[in-house]
Amino acid sequence: MITLAQLKSGQSSTVVDIQGGRRMADRLNALGIIPGKKITKTSAMLMRGPVTINVDRVEVAIGFGMANKVIVRPDRVP
Amino acid sequence: MTRILLMGNPNVGKSALFSRLTGVQAIVSNYPGTTISYTRGHMKLGEEIAEVIDVPGTYTLEPTSEAEEIALRLLDSGDIVINVANAINLERNLYLTLQLLERGIPMVMALNLWDDTRHRGVDIDLEKLRELLGVPVIPTVAVTGEGIKELVENIPRATSPHHPPGTRDQRWATIGKIIEQVQRISHRHHTWRERLADASVKPLSGGLIALAILAGSFFIIRFIGEGLINYVLDPLFNTLWSPVVLKLSQLMGGGGFLHDLVIGKIIGGELNFVESFGLLTSGLYVPLGVVLPYIVAFYLVLGILEDTGYLPRLAVLMDTIMHRLGLHGYAIIPNLLGLGCNVPAILATRILESKRERFIAATLISIAVPCAALQAMIFGLVGARGLGYVAIVYGTLFIVWIILGIILNHTVKGFSPELLIEIPPYRLPPWRTVAQKLWIRTYGFLAEAIPIILGAILVINVLYILGVFDAIANFTAPVVTGLLGLPKEAVTALVIGFLRKDVALGMLAPLALTSGQLVVGSVVLAMLFPCIATFVVMFRELGWVNMLKAVGVMIVAALVTGGILNLIL
């Protein structure tokens, strides 16, 4: 398992855990990013910039620090 | 009176629906957080008149920002909720729906953006959804008006079925079951819009797209602004209005207090609309002949940018830089709005999560982001000396914005939350909403600016005659002349800047300044005291302690920057 920040762009994965405070979990929950959810990483900006993911057909941008606390299990590449 | 609340996630089209229901024009854009305060309107509901409130978007009833807190407070006052949901992303939207149902408030659901479901491969079983939720569900397309009639007919059928309060996990489990039964997703290939969307947030292509869009915007604004001035407004003022004013001047005897107040100073039979400072000359020419063209140009381009959905992508690109300023990427949106007018920009800081961010953003906007009215005058007056000088003014303000942000980030206590935003899909701007927004904003400018500009010119003339300006000028001469290298009379412009920045910059015109002095004057005027409207909104949004802090920062920053520029130029 790796963090969302480490996940490669274009790869799909399943959220396993959200580390970090309650406030962060609240904000991610509001956008439907919860353990068990399938997400695909679209892109990442350079220099610890935000990570963009696709969750249920919606693009969401997540700051690098936060992306580092979202633990995901990458899907096996067929 | 029945009170109907329009509630839903951000950027699902609540404001568009609100305009359709009430006929009240509301600003509609394609980014989350457009509506940061509520708008009120009325609609006919059978024989009765009902009140409709456009509530700021919220994801949950556990607020994480000021705009969401407003939404929660409004909920207690409503009789019926129209829950506006995004048909493309029903899962996430249902979370708020369930929370609202748990509260037991009668509800109708508008499943908006319904037209998108077809080409996005989303198939929703409406009957099943109605059955599972227990409330009327009406598919709508607010921008075109599709489904609005059915929605209105169903408002009286709003129900409050029993949904027991649940925990977060229970709600998601319920949503999972509902989705399983009502939604089918078929795979679709990427459209060109989706490809462009992906390219906009990738480092290299995203940077190039951002540069192209910002440069393009700048040239289009300038092209439209200058075009309107040179081919429409200047000819109108010079050929039609000028003879009328000169005739009137003759009738009034060509001089005296009343003449100078109404017409202003006429030097050698030549009328100078900027420098004469009469109510019928500068009082009309500054707002209509100089500022209005740029207001129209700026808000047209901003409106298009807002409606395409580009702005959140700019926020992603700017995030790393904005973190150095103690903000995150989304703060770029209030800052961009500030280039139009600082007042809505400071209100828009409500989309930021913490008080610290709001203080930093509001302070930066009020100091280093010049409004469109001031910019129009900068282009007019400083631009006449060469565009290089205009570049110095903008470059200086940009450097101040960066340095001040870094300083505030290191001195203001607390930390900055991370960026977390939904990025809407690209859309072609609906021209109706672009035109409507342009009208709302242009009208807002005319209605607010013209009375204040006329008032300011009245005050200037009276103070001038009473000799008050001379007294102030002598008193502040050490700072204005010694530090900034401006003639002591320039202080009058800095004082009037408190009323209107555009008129104030116009007051520098008759002083025969060198180009360097004009640059110093423009920069100091842009940075020192915000206009009175900005002051009021800062006081309301930040409280007086933080407002005074911001003003302190402002005075020091303006004098230091002006002093340095004076030494260099």
Identity of the residue numbered B224: I
What DSSP character marks residue B264?
B
Tell me the CA distances in angstroms from B32 to B10, B232, B330, B421, one per residue in order.
5, 37, 10, 8
Between A24, A32, A63, which is nearest B92 by CB?
A: A32
Listed in sequence order, the DSSP H helices in B351-430 are: 355-368, 372-377, 387-411
Predicted confidence (pLDDT) per residue in B296-353, tens digit: 999 999 999 988 999 999 999 999 999 999 999 999 999 999 999 999 899 889 888 8
Residue closest to B534 by CA, chosen among B364, B376, B413, B418: B364
Q: What angle do CA B498, B503, B509 make, to 5 degrees?
A: 120
Measured between CB atoms, does A21 come within 8 Å of chain B?
no
- What stretches in chain B show pLDDT beneath 70? 30-31, 33, 36
Instruction: Output DSSP code: residue B331.
Output: G
pLDDT for residue A78: 60
Q: What pLDDT score was predicted for residue B277?
A: 86
Residue A35 contacts B where some CB pair is shorter than 8 Å: no
Within 10 angstroms of residue A69's Cβ, the number of other Cβ atoms is: 19
Radius of gyration of chain A (CA): 11
Mean pLDDT along residues A31-55: 92
Phi, psi of B395, deg, nearest 5: -60, -45
Could you identify the residue written with the tokens 């930021």?
Answer: B352
If one counts the domains in chain A, the total is 1
pLDDT number for residue B190? 76
CATH class of the domain comprising B3-185:
alpha beta
CATH of the domain at A55: 2.30.30.90
Single-letter code of the amino acid located at B282: S
Q: How far is A64 from chain B (nearest CA, A)?
A: 8
| Mean per-residue pLDDT of chain A | 91
> Using the beta-carbon criterion (under 8 Å), do A49 and B203 form an inter-chain contact?
yes
For residue A30, the chain B residue with the least C-alpha distance is B59
Q: Cα-flanking dihedrals φ and ψ of residue B377, to 5°? A: -70, -35
Interface of B with A in 149-168 (CB under 8 A): 168
- Partner residues linked to B41 by β-bridges: B52
Tell me the C-alpha distance between B274 and B262, whole Å.
14
Residues of B in contact with A64 (CB under 8 A): 418
Buried b / exposed e along B482-503 (16+ C-beta atoms within 10 A) = ebbbbbbbbbbbbbbbbbbbbb
Contacts of B365 (CB under 8 A, 6+ apart): B334, B335, B338, B342, B345, B346, B349
Confirm if B108 and B8 have CB atoms less than 8 A apart: no
Closest Cβ–Cβ partner in B62, B201, B202 for A26:
B62
Domain encompassing residue A11: 2-74
Helices and strands: H and E segment counts in chain A: 2, 6
Q: Does B59 touch chain A (CB under 8 A)?
A: yes
- Closest chain A residue by Cα to residue B176: A37
Neighboring chain B residues of A65 at a CB cutoff of 8 Å: 418
Distance CA B538, CA B354 (A): 16
Cβ-defined contact of A23 to B64 (cutoff 8 Å):
yes
pLDDT score for B567: 93
Of B89, B329, B419, the CB nearest to A56: B89
- Segments making up each domain of chain B, as ranges: 3-185, 203-422+430-568
Which of B181, B64, B310 has its CA nearest to residue A27? B64
Distance (Å, whole) CA B136 – CA B281? 59
Q: What is d(CA B501, CA B525) in angstroms, rounded to the nearest whole number?
A: 7
**If DSSP codes are grouped into helix, strand and coil, which group holds residue B214?**
helix
CA separation for the pair B524, B501 (Å, rounded): 11
For residue B92, what pLDDT is reported?
Answer: 94
A50 and B319 within 8 Å at the Cβ level: the answer is yes
Q: Which tokens is B277 given?
A: 């400072």
Q: Does A37 touch chain B (CB under 8 A)?
A: no
Among B183, B179, B5, B23, which Cα is nearest to B84's? B5
Which helix or strand (DSSP H or E) is residue B419 part of? none
Q: Looking at CA atoms only, how far is residue B146 from chain A in angstroms?
A: 23
Q: Which of B15, B10, B103 is nearest to B65 (CA)?
A: B10
Distance from the Cα of residue B157 to its chain's centroid = 37
For residue A2, what pLDDT band results from cuts at 50, 70 and 90?
very high
pLDDT of residue B469: 85
Judge whether B266 and B249 are in contact, CB under 8 Å: yes
- The residue behind tokens 């004098």 is B559
ipTM for this model:
0.94
Specify the pLDDT at position B565: 94
